[in-house]
Structures are given as C-alpha cells and as structure tokens.
Amino acid sequence: MQLIRLEEELRLNVPEIDSQHETLISLINQLHTAMLREADKASLDDLLSQLLDHTRSHCSYEEQLMSQYGYPAYAAHRSEHERLIEHLENLMGRYKNGDLLLSFAVMLELKGWATIHIEKSDKLLGIFLNDRAGIDTNHHKGSG
Ligand SMILES: [Fe+2]
Ligand SMILES: [Fe+2]
C-alpha cells in the first residue's frame, strides 16, 4: 500500500534532493507495509536502520549545499535536522528495547515529520537554490 508518495507540492525541483526525498518516503512506505504484514523483527530492524542511515546522509547532503551556497537559514534548518535525527534514534532505541511497538500511530508520526519538514523547510531551501545557485537543470518555467 502507498502510505505517501512524493506529491508535486513536495517537489523542490532540485533533482538530487527530490530523488533522496523519494527514497526517504519509499522507506517509510516499505516500513508501513512490513508492519501491516507483521514482518519478522529482522526485516523491520533492517528497514529502520536503512531509514536512519538514509536520513543522516540526506540531512548531511542538504547541510553541505546550504553551507556551500551561504543559505541564510542554515543554522535553523540544521537544528531541525538534528531534532529529527534525535527523534528517530530515540524511536529506534525504544523499538529495540521492546518499549515501542511499530503501530499505525508511529507510521503516521514518521510520515508527518518527513512531509512537514519537506513542506516547511526544504521547500524554502529549494527556492533559494533555484534562485541563487542555478542548481536546477530541469526547471519548467510557467508561461508568462
Ligand atoms: Fe532538510
Ligand atoms: Fe530534506
């Protein structure tokens, strides 16, 4: 089942970041499907580790771009990433200790933090990168 996909409104028109966001959302969807199928603990552990690894490397990638192009809201965006990663680590820790069951509520929470961060913060970074850095090569300009 498709829990979320990369909707048009979540696109930044920065191809590398969009592709990393697709992977992020796909991992959350896979985790959701695995949870519904009551997959074995090893598969769930593996998906959670992939999600954490991917989130870490994706956040570093964005931070590297922000730093390279002198993004004004760098510090705030970076601390948002740190909070997201801390939250995910905490969730994984609770899961590994058996203090947390992967439930529909947990999946909604994961979906929530991913989409809210992309909509509220990454979107602004995407606009900045397109305006200032000319990073996008596939941007379709509206008729005007
Ligand atoms: Fe971000
Ligand atoms: Fe992002």
Which one has a higher pLDDT value, 119 or 7? 119
CA dihedral 50, 94, 56, 40 (to 10 degrees): 0
Mean pLDDT of the chain: 87
Nearest to 22 by CA among 44, 104, 14: 14
- Using DSSP's 3-state secondary structure scheme, residue 115 falls into helix
Cα 103 to middle of ligand 2, angstroms: 24
Give the mean pLDDT of 108-125: 93
Residue 138 has pLDDT above 90, yes or no: no
Tens of pLDDT, residues 32-42 = 999 889 888 88
CA of 77 to the centre of ligand 2 (A): 10
Comparing CA positions, the residue from 52, 37, 32, 39 lying closest to residue 103 is: 32
Domains of the chain, start order: 13-133 (1.20.120.50)
- Average pLDDT for 104-112: 86
